[in-house]
Amino acid sequence: MTGKTLQLTRCSKTYPDGTRALEPVDLTIAAGEVVVLLGPSGCGKTTLLRLVAGLDRPDAGGRVVLDGLDVTAHPIEKRGVGMVFQSYALFPHMSVAGNIGYGLRVQGWSRAKRKARVDELLATARLTELAGRRVDQLSGGQRQRVALARALAPRSGMILLDEPLTALDAGLREGLRAEIAAMIRDQGATAVYVTHDQAEALTLADRLVVMNRGTIAQIGTPREVYYRPASDYIAGFFGPVNRLSGTIEDGIFATATGTTPVPGQPDGATTLAFRPEAAIVGGGGLRFQVATSLFEGVRQRLDLEGPAGERLVAYAPGARPYAPGDEVTLGIDPDGLLTSSDG
Ligand code: ADP
Ligand code: MG
């Protein structure tokens, strides 16, 4: 199966009560691409996905083109897209295989073709053993794998997922992330995946669409958006950002708290921006004091203070405890410096 292409042109959405959920949005998605819509709750992700699905129409002037065909006026059943929601919307009394094959039966696939396709998806979703089990006897993670297999079954070439992992607990979510990505790519489908979870978005996306208040704030690969954020808002959306002002001469960064090498950076006065993981505790000559430390297990978060009131966040391994008042030295990983996307 080859995935479908998708083109949204000036798609905005105003709900009947006057709520402006989406400003005019342009977005082009290539065949087989996995695109993640990421943004805080209420920013318009579900609204955008519903326009793609045909569950809602854009305001006048908006166009949805699927594989070259203008489907703006087509309802969901005419669009040929698969959907997976946060709540599973499976048939609880039907078996796993029955659920996966349901859409194929509706579409009139022959019994033999249906069986071959269902068997293939059972294997892809690692559900072969559970083929005959009723879905109300499955765990949440298993149900979501059934829901994804069911959506992929008709080979529609376009799959839309709205926070499919949000209802599951943290450990399960992480494991399923990788599995969902593998299933979608294995089937060659184009996917639009909605989430408010940054780690999920970074892990899954070929391309990330960061949304804010009904607009697209930035589109890029996960690394582009993370290391070259288009705005302070986007930078901050992925976690704390440190900023330290000083002067670079011959690859040495000098500031009130000391000096540290930043090879490859141009000479002159500058403010370096970097995430906590690029602040290398013990790795350079910047001197800071621990203000607070927070043990998180795999790591510990250090809130640091410099002599001129500079504040930084750094991570250290969790095993060695730090206490308020401890002195630490810091270096900066030059590869982890943030650059603005327009500079
Ligand atoms: P997200 O999925 O990013 O959390 P939504 O697309 O669901 O955001 O919602 C975007 C905005 O539109 C929110 O302010 C929400 O309250 C509003 N909204 C969503 N659905 C409706 C509706 N049917 N009628 C009126 N307002 C809505
Ligand atoms: Mg939503």
Distance, in Å, from the CA atom of 174 to the CA atom of 187, rounded to the nearest integer, reads 21
pTM: 0.92
Which atom of ligand 1 is nearest to 211's Cα?
Answer: 3
Give 121-133 pLDDT, tens digit per residue.
Answer: 999 999 999 999 9
Tell me if 6 sits within 8 A of 29, measured CB to CB.
yes
For 36-45, 150-159, 287-296, which range has the lowest pLDDT when averaged over its residues? 150-159
- Residue 243, strand partner residues: 273
Confidence of residue 175 (pLDDT cuts 50, 70, 90): confident
Alpha-carbon distance of 19 to 332, in angstroms, equals 45
User: Which atom of ligand 1 is closest in space to residue 37's alpha carbon?
Assistant: 3
Assess whether the C-beta atom of 21 lies below 6 angstroms from ligand 1: yes
CA proximity to 38, closest of 152, 144, 178, 163: 163
Domain 242-336 annotated CATH 3.40.50.740: no
Q: Where are the beta strands (DSSP E) in 145-229?
A: 158-162, 190-195, 207-212, 215-220
Q: Is the CB of 15 under 6 A from ligand 1?
A: yes
- Domain 6-237 fold is Rossmann fold (3.40.50)
Using an 8 Å Cβ cutoff, are 61 and 9 in contact? no
Ordered by start, the domain boundaries in the chain are 6-237, 242-336
**pLDDT 10s digits, 219-260:** 999 999 999 999 999 999 999 999 999 999 999 999 999 999
> Ligand 1 atom 14: the closest Cα is on which residue?
42
For range 1-9, the mean pLDDT: 91
Task: Assess whether the C-beta atom of 38 lies below 6 angstroms from ligand 1.
Answer: no
* Residues 134-153, mean pLDDT to the nearest whole number: 92
Residue 199, H or E segment: helix 198-204
Neighbours of 125 (CB within 10 A): 25
Sequence-ordered list of residues with C-beta below 8 angstroms from that of 12, at least 6 positions apart, any chain: 20, 22, 23, 24, 25, 58, 59, 61, 62
Q: How far is the CA of 342 from the centre of ligand 1 (A)?
A: 31
Handedness of CA 78, 83, 89, 93 (dihedral sign): positive
* Residue 209, pLDDT score: 98
Closest C-alpha to 332, from 246, 269, 223 = 246
Q: Scanning the structure block, which residue is given the tokens 């709540």?
A: 87
pLDDT of residue 210: 97
User: In the chain, pLDDT over 90 holds for what percent of residues?
Assistant: 84
For ligand 1, whether the C-beta of 45 sits within 6 Å is: yes
CB atoms within 10 A of CB 19: 11
Which residue, 189, 116, 107, is CA-closest to 148?
A: 189
pLDDT in tens, 27-36: 999 999 999 9
C-alpha to C-alpha distance for 312 and 314, rounded to whole angstroms = 7
Contact 25, 11 (CB under 8 A): yes
- DSSP, res 95: B
Q: Which residues pair with 33 in a beta bridge?
A: none
Please check the confidence at residue 44 and state whether its pLDDT lies above 70: yes
Distance CA 63, CA 72 (A): 6
| CA gap 254, 250 in Å, rounded | 11
Query: Ligand 1, atom 7: nearest CA belongs to which residue?
Result: 46
The pLDDT score that the predictor gives to residue 77 is 87
pLDDT at 25: 97
How far is the centre of ligand 1, averaged over its atoms, from the C-alpha of 217 (Å)? 18
* Average pLDDT score over the chain: 94
**Is the confidence at residue 168, as pLDDT, over 90?**
no
* In the block, residue with structure tokens 């065949």: 31
| 270 beta partners | 246
pLDDT at 12: 98
